[in-house]
């Protein structure tokens, strides 16, 4: 779990999915289906999730399921 320039914890897709209580493939499907807004990517194109982004995704999914 690396830190970004502001010393915030950054999670990879599998770690973020675990925090959300879903599989990595489910989280990727949500992005593909535009169920949630995408997150920032690093220089390699890999997604980077902060705790703030994880909370935002959780709110988006909960809001779409009601």
Give the pLDDT score at 1: 62
Instruction: Enumerate domains of the chain plus CATH numbers.
Output: 13-64 (1.10.1660.10)
Q: What share of the chain is helix, strand, coil (3-state, %, to 5)?
A: 45, 10, 45
Tell which residue, 48, 38, 36, 47, has the closest CA to residue 6.
Answer: 48
Checking if the pLDDT of 39 tops 50, the result is yes
Q: Can you name the residues that pair with 17 across neighbouring β-strands? A: none
Q: CA triplet 26, 20, 66: central angle to 5 degrees? A: 80
The model carries a pTM of 0.83
pLDDT digits (tens, 9 = 90+) for 12-35: 999 999 999 999 999 999 999 999
* Mean local confidence (pLDDT), 40-49: 94
SS3 state at 41: strand
Q: In the numeric block, which tokens belong to residue 23?
A: 């599989």
5 or 38, higher pLDDT:
38
């Amino acid at each position: 779990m690396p830190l970004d320039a502001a010393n915030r914890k950054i999670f990879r897709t599998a770690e973020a999915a675990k925090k959300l209580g879903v599989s990595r493939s489910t989280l990727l499907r949500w992005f593909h289906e535009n169920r949630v807004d995408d997150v920032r990517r690093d220089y390699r194109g890999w997604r980077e999730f902060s705790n703030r982004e994880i909370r935002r995704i959780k709110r988006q999914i909960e809001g779409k399921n009601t």
